[in-house]
Structure 1
């Protein structure tokens, strides 16, 4: 099936294997750094002003009604113009902000929903505007260079009643793509003999998809269809016609990679269906391009006749915010996914605001910026999905090398952002059934779909081969310590509060341990993930990426799950004849009412763990509600349950 594509080497360095963390290429630096002096005053940057909403409580109530059968506004989604009229800044407020910017020598563009105003200028102009200076810094953790304001931004008093957040003056945060490769266990002298899946049906559904490989580590979108009972929709001619999926990403890519993937697995797709939108000048083709290839290949493979719009932007907070804002204000995509993120706690004042207390978990602004955009998407009926991360219950590990004895930081229980926002569906990860054997050890099996966490491999090696440390690769999940428990989780069995005694500590070689952040204990926060699908690289996938050498196998991570849910939504949009809207209130209601069973849209994930949270026959912070039976979900949505 794949003979015409070049297979890339999947070897990871032994150092990465033993720490379970990345080399820090994508790590943020919202932590100790060296001040390298004032940044060039004439450096040009983009700054986006996020405006305050009107009647936000009414907006949230309206969103709930759009996805609640029997409500007055069920499926009555708004346009960006209607959103602006009812909940956005008024024409007068927008004009006042633009007039003020013009008086400062700054031109501006307002988005249709009156939620954001984009502008560009020099660091000198914006430093004066926000009463701060901007310095260059070098991370003490990974050498990453960036600039950011020395003090918190002060919104000018004449527009402070309209402007909530300004993003763009900091290039500190660099987001991570959430995909990982199978560990190079063979490099430890243990040949990896990975046997075929115990059942090509996976957790549910039929095994009739002709594009499936049936081989763990070489799965295709056809195997996803087999695992999660998507094939009945295909048999009805539901292939995503009339739907559009959006991808928000921070690396450009080669569209030919996606068409090569679809062609090579024998999948017939709509031709000429990929549109690229380069936001803020667009992103580079770089080490993250494989992530974008995955997103397009998976979403477009699940929904082979859906249109695809790829919004790519530079890998900064402002670029990420602007890409989402553009995708939402365009209002063309019926569903949008992203596979990039960072630990939620990197947004807290304690790590970003000079002089802030180490207990200050208020948002420095970025969480609020994303949240307002996500609210607009929800009221417009656009379903949003974000990968929940690949560090299990300890989201900082992959960014900081934390908690391993190798890095300089402790590893508190943490979740990933933007997946932790209550108005986006957090995509978690599982391991599907398969058998494995290493070296002279026995053959063992994962006998049921389980929460993805590589401690099962670590335990095997520790017992039969030689000790290793794979901490803490696995599906991201846990409890937000910023977003409160949303209404749709209020009656869900298994929802938990944050754990006590969680702190991020920097072990300074010269000054000793410094507590950078103390996380709230017993916080009644939003729980993630929401829905999970297969993400373990050991039961992972192939994908095609020119940047990564062609064809790769043994690939996984929750970055596969988010676009798969995006593609599934495109199928449901065609099948139901309307946008699906925010998934979360709908799927939690279905699970609370109907539970698990033959007719349920969900498969419970009762086994495995993500290094802290365990699978259970209910909601759990390893896999959320569980995995999907898509055909059953489709029946419920078409019936209006």
Structure 2
């Protein structure tokens, strides 16, 4: 697998020159940059082992550019803005194909390039945004003019591209990025598992575990209808067979009708969609808490299953895209994330942002866990690094709702207080806390420009809102038939999804992407939320502190759903 000779990392310029010497091809860049940087090498404390050999198998997903992204984003604002002539006229997948998707001719040019370079099993997504293909390290070099390098990260042998991915000039206006060239940084779940805890009395109330059906009443949604008219999606890695069994046990135990469940395999038809025992607690948490917070019913729950064996994080990109191109789920839960600067470097941010932009124009809402690492997502996933702060992708996308975490205190089953979720360091020195901060890859969205917080955001600020995430006040869910207590922002996001789905059902699914409206509504009517004003999301004097109004650890805080429902009925609720 490895060459024995010492490796001299190739420079991008030298690589281009060498290729050009034997071919007249003019290469142009994509959004996929060189992933193997000196900074990352120092972070991983590992030296390269060997340049990958030409015959090693590689799978790639090529992201194609939306035609006129600015027009798509403008449409997303228009259809979600009450008073606009296009309000409520959500984009359909058919209209997306006609107006925004890459043309068939563009797709065929890319397919021809891949085939000529040696790729096989070439598959085009139905909205023409993604093309997947199987090849080798050699075909990657031929098609994208970049070498791949092996090195060690901890106990893993990983691979990354040591030069930017490029395409021939004729494809420069079509190919956005090339995904799957690195598996150094992978998305992870945002769940905190532990033993079932005993109630802990505090002056503010009691910290105790909660059954999923309790969250609706705790957050003031008892007067709302269930989400029986709203279809909800859940993004998983691998299969959801066990999660479906556990969900059935949950509904049976609570006297509820079984949920109409569908599972959609979103990547390679021959991929790995088996149940991953480690991940099942996450999908159990998502599905049972969505249904619980939704009042015990949804119209349908669709598991969008990512291929576990997909290269890098391409499986998730394909799962997001499938949920959007299907346009069946009105609200989609994502309890996953990874370092946003790594996501930008390998081209994922560019690829997924346009997928999420299409979702906004279609009136869909992606709800994403902000993260469990406090201010240190990119610092080896939560290991404190002083004042070097970072956040998680895709929570930092302006086209999703980012949901942070609180510690929930109740009294006689009613909401009493919430503080910033921060459990401090575990035995390995890792911080567990609500991720929040400022994006360094996404600009400030228009609806965050008026935030009066210090420091003033220089980029997209995360999170937008927060709900219960502490393991001690976490959800009691069935996992392989046994009750397990689980917290993390993997809990807070599905709580929001279930509550928002109820509001959608109350309004015949006419509500669109709510980010801008959330900010304007809470700014004008602070009583719509439980404002979290105590706690921080850092360690040893670092991180951000909660304060009155919007703050970095918890955003606006948690919704009082009865008040939000009244507000939405009586006021224009725009994007």
Whether the 8 Å CA contact 1:111–1:117 is kept in 2: the answer is yes
Q: CA–CA distance in 2 between the matches of 1:375 and 1:452?
A: 30
Equivalent residue, structure 2, for 1:256: 245
Q: CA–CA distance in 1 between the matches of 2:200 and 2:147?
A: 59
* C-alpha displacement of 1:256: 0.6
Q: CA–CA distance in 2 between the matches of 1:197 and 1:310?
A: 38
Closer/same/farther in 2, CA of residues 298 and 447 from structure 1, 3 Å limit: closer
- Over the aligned positions, Cα root-mean-square deviation in angstroms equals 2.8
Equivalent residue, structure 2, for 1:153: 165
Closer/same/farther in 2, CA of residues 34 and 314 from structure 1, 3 Å limit: farther
* C-alpha displacement of 1:485: 0.7
Q: Which residue of the other structure, out of 292, 295, 309, is the alignment partner of 2:283?
A: 292
Equivalent residue, structure 2, for 1:312: 305
Q: CA–CA distance in 2 between the matches of 1:166 and 1:76?
A: 33
Whether the 8 Å CA contact 1:67–1:581 is kept in 2: the answer is yes
Q: CA–CA distance in 1 between the matches of 2:454 and 2:57?
A: 46
Whether the 8 Å CA contact 1:84–1:115 is kept in 2: the answer is no
Pair 1:394-2:376 in alignment: yes
Equivalent residue, structure 2, for 1:370: 352
Structure-to-structure mapping, 1:533-548, within 5 angstroms: 533-546=467-480
Structure 1: stretches of 5+ with no match in the other structure: 1-27, 185-191, 203-214, 349-362, 404-409, 436-445, 459-466, 499-523
Equivalent residue, structure 2, for 1:476: 435
* C-alpha displacement of 1:399: 2.1
Equivalent residue, structure 2, for 1:243: 230
Q: CA–CA distance in 2 between the matches of 1:250 and 1:468?
A: 28
* C-alpha displacement of 1:400: 6.3
Q: CA–CA distance in 2 between the matches of 1:626 and 1:591?
A: 10
Equivalent residue, structure 2, for 1:168: 180
Equivalent residue, structure 2, for 1:614: 545
Equivalent residue, structure 1, for 2:21: none
Task: Summarize deviations over 1:410-465 as a string: whole Å, max 9, x none.
Answer: 67211111101111110101112269xxxxxxxxxx9731121235xx8xxxxxxx
Pair 1:323-2:319 in alignment: yes
Equivalent residue, structure 2, for 1:414: 390
Closer/same/farther in 2, CA of residues 636 and 94 from structure 1, 3 Å limit: farther
Equivalent residue, structure 2, for 1:441: none
Equivalent residue, structure 1, for 2:328: 332
Q: CA–CA distance in 1 between the matches of 2:482 and 2:203?
A: 29
Equivalent residue, structure 1, for 2:361: 379
Q: CA–CA distance in 1 between the matches of 2:131 and 2:500?
A: 30
Pair 1:453-2:422 in alignment: yes
Equivalent residue, structure 2, for 1:98: 111
Q: CA–CA distance in 2 between the matches of 1:195 and 1:591?
A: 31
Closer/same/farther in 2, CA of residues 540 and 582 from structure 1, 3 Å limit: same
* C-alpha displacement of 1:63: 1.0
Task: Summarize deviations over 1:575-594 as a string: whole Å, max 9, x none.
Answer: 10124322211211211222
Task: Summarize deviations over 1:42-89 as a string: whole Å, max 9, x none.
Answer: 444432211112222222221112222111211111112212322222
Per the normalisation by structure 1, the TM-score is: 0.74
Equivalent residue, structure 2, for 1:532: 466
Aligned residue for 1:610, secondary structure, equals coil
Pair 1:194-2:199 in alignment: yes
Whether the 8 Å CA contact 1:229–1:631 is kept in 2: the answer is yes
Structure 2: stretches of 5+ with no match in the other structure: 1-39
* C-alpha displacement of 1:374: 0.7
Task: Summarize deviations over 1:373-430 as a string: whole Å, max 9, x none.
Answer: 1111111111001111112222245626444xxxxxx672111111011111101011
Task: Summarize deviations over 1:118-157 as a string: whole Å, max 9, x none.
Answer: 2223332222111223233221xx2122222232211222
Q: CA–CA distance in 2 between the matches of 1:386 and 1:331?
A: 18
Equivalent residue, structure 1, for 2:26: none
Equivalent residue, structure 2, for 1:591: 522
Task: Summarize deviations over 1:212-252 as a string: whole Å, max 9, x none.
Answer: xxx7442022221122111111xxxx222232111112243
Aligned residue for 1:287, secondary structure, equals helix
Equivalent residue, structure 1, for 2:216: 225
Structure-to-structure mapping, 1:43-192, within 5 angstroms: 43-106=56-119, 107-139=121-153, 142-182=154-194
Closer/same/farther in 2, CA of residues 396 and 173 from structure 1, 3 Å limit: closer
Whether the 8 Å CA contact 2:370–2:392 is kept in 1: the answer is yes
Whether the 8 Å CA contact 2:376–2:382 is kept in 1: the answer is no
Aligned residue for 2:176, secondary structure, equals strand
* C-alpha displacement of 1:368: 0.9
Whether the 8 Å CA contact 2:464–2:555 is kept in 1: the answer is yes
Q: CA–CA distance in 1 between the matches of 2:462 and 2:482?
A: 33
Closer/same/farther in 2, CA of residues 138 and 160 from structure 1, 3 Å limit: same
Equivalent residue, structure 2, for 1:604: 531
Closer/same/farther in 2, CA of residues 114 and 249 from structure 1, 3 Å limit: same
Aligned residue for 1:488, secondary structure, equals helix
Equivalent residue, structure 1, for 2:27: none
Equivalent residue, structure 2, for 1:514: none
Q: CA–CA distance in 1 between the matches of 2:195 and 2:248?
A: 28
Closer/same/farther in 2, CA of residues 217 and 33 from structure 1, 3 Å limit: farther
Equivalent residue, structure 1, for 2:403: 427
Equivalent residue, structure 1, for 2:341: 345
Equivalent residue, structure 2, for 1:487: 446
* C-alpha displacement of 1:276: 4.2
